[in-house]
Amino acid sequence: MTDRTPQPVQRPRSALFKTLAVGLGLGVLVLLELGLRFSTLAPPTREEWSRENGVISIEHYYSQFSEHFVILGQGEDGSICGPSPEHTMHGSSEADAMQPDQFLCKKPDGVTRIAVLGGSSVQGFMLRDSQTIPSRLEWHLTKAGHSNVEVINAGVAGYNTLQIRRLVPELWTFEPDMLVVYAGHNDYTYYPAIEAALKASGALRTTRGLGDKLATWRLLRSVARAAGILPKPRQSTMDRYAGSRPQARAVFQVDPLAVPRNRSARRQLVQEQHQADENIAAFYEENLTWLDQEARIRGVDLVMVTPVARMEWKPSGSVHWKDLDDDELLAWEAIWKGTTQRAQRIAGGADPTRQQNLDPEQVTAAMAIDDTFADLVFLAARSAHQQGRTQEAVELYREAYELTPPTRSDRAPLRHAERVLKLSRRLGRTSVDLRPVVDSNARIPGLPGQGLFLDGMHFSVRGADLAARAISEGISEDWK
């Protein structure tokens, strides 16, 4: 008779060892995690590291968006609104000059309310509130006979068109009749940060966030970075000072472009720059198209203004757009080294007619090999300016400006202005082209300089007034 008594299951010894090994490993990790947490050996979290180094992570910056306009108090005619303290600058001479705009939260009857959107050029970098583009626009419109016009300064230092897009829903509360958008520079300035943020999927950001909470993971990450397995966190290239805000520091984390050492790598770099330029153009168009649609739903007018900049400002980067072979590159680099040694004292933005340390022959020799390297073309412009060849200098300055690689440019190129005008025509919206305004009012025609700009892109008092007057004329023409 067969014994049917159930027999105990015999687990394979190898499976038992595996289970014990996994349990032991998890136990070690738990003990290590607890030990790190209760000691001073745990590497800082991303947030802690950011605070210590004056930088905030790109992912955090572009995923977080706090309210911009808040109720600041009560006045005789009702609640008073304006930018929250987080979005105004304090603690330095630069910050104190950027006074927040204040207005009645509820639009008064019979008032035409205009909101001007943009970055620090709109907000008023280094200008008093009465000198900003929005303030001067209101003054010029009133002078032109448009009574009961109120202009809100909705510019935020550092904002690109994606952040402007996120800000706009707040504005509908204040019932604007028109939106004026002066944007484009920050789409280029911030492109490396924008690209990194847009590429990071939600799952990737979630995984990073969970891993960052584990001290063990942070330790492994630190070891991998020290060994060169993982790239080190990017440091801010922005000078640290007491009044510098995390918002501004977050985007000034631009690593220098890698120097390609062979022809194939150089071609790849040029291709990447062309693609980046197309991406930035699409980024701007997508955000402004969305803004146009939202404005149409509410019957709000939209005016698009072309960004302008200072032409004789030193480029913020260079690439060899020309397809050089290795021998040509070596010859060019030898000349370039000699040229830069003589020109090392040149500072961006200085009066080019005062520089006497350029060797015209070296500049000409290098240009003969490659005349597409922005820094070299800029030196050629300086050289021509010193020798009194003004018109040639103007053309070279403008060319150097246009040759700056998109991923390292701190200003929108001239071709971007054409895109703004083309998009405005496609959308059937009013546009204002500021290029002829700054070109014709420059000390040297066609070469907008320090009389109109404080640096590479921020308007001086005169520049802001000229821009506001041109926008006022464009609006007045549209209102006829």
Helix or strand (DSSP H, E) at 104: strand 103-104
342: which residues sit within 8 A by CB, 6+ positions away? 357, 358, 359, 362
pLDDT number for residue 472: 96
Strongest mean pLDDT among 129-143, 323-337, 342-356:
129-143
- Average pLDDT over all residues of the chain: 79
Strongest mean pLDDT among 67-76, 195-204, 233-242, 371-380:
371-380
Other beta carbons less than 10 A from residue 139's beta carbon = 17
What is the band of 259 on the pLDDT scale with cuts at 50, 70, 90?
A: confident
| Residue range 72-88: mean pLDDT, rounded | 75
- The tokens describing 67, both together, are 């309210």
H-state helical runs in 348-413: 360-369, 374-386, 390-403
pLDDT number for residue 392: 93
Lowest average pLDDT, out of 37-41, 59-63, 320-324, 418-422, goes to: 59-63
pLDDT number for residue 350: 47
pTM for the predicted model, two decimal places: 0.77
CA distance 306 to 136: 18
Instruction: Identify whether the C-beta of residue 312 lies closer than 8 Å to the C-beta of residue 438.
Output: no
| Residue range 231-243: mean pLDDT, rounded | 49
C-alpha closest to that of 445 among 392, 409, 389, 391: 391
| Residue range 220-248: mean pLDDT, rounded | 58
What is the band of 196 on the pLDDT scale with cuts at 50, 70, 90?
A: low
Tell me: the pLDDT tens digits for 352-376? 434 445 677 888 888 999 999 998 9
Tell me: the pLDDT tens digits for 366-408? 899 999 999 899 989 988 888 889 999 999 999 999 999 998 8
Cα torsion through 438, 443, 446, 448, rounded to 10: -50
More confident residue, 194 or 227: 227
What is the band of 244 on the pLDDT scale with cuts at 50, 70, 90?
A: very low
Strongest mean pLDDT among 82-86, 282-286, 300-304:
300-304
Pairing label, strands 78-83, 103-104: antiparallel
CA distance 441 to 239: 32
pLDDT number for residue 465: 96
Q: Is 234 a residue whose pLDDT tops 60?
A: no
Lowest average pLDDT, out of 6-20, 65-79, 115-129, 404-418, goes to: 6-20
pLDDT number for residue 207: 66
More confident residue, 184 or 212: 184
More confident residue, 455 or 13: 455
Strongest mean pLDDT among 1-15, 35-49, 270-284, 350-364:
270-284
Lowest average pLDDT, out of 99-103, 184-188, 233-237, goes to: 233-237
**Sheet with 103-104: strands ordered across:** 69-75, 78-83, 103-104
> 3-state DSSP call for residue 431?
strand
C-alpha closest to that of 133 among 382, 480, 457: 457
Eight-class DSSP state of 459: B
Pairing label, strands 69-75, 103-104: unpaired
pLDDT number for residue 478: 86
Q: Is 349 a residue whose pLDDT tops 50?
A: no
Q: Is 224 a residue whose pLDDT tops 90?
A: no
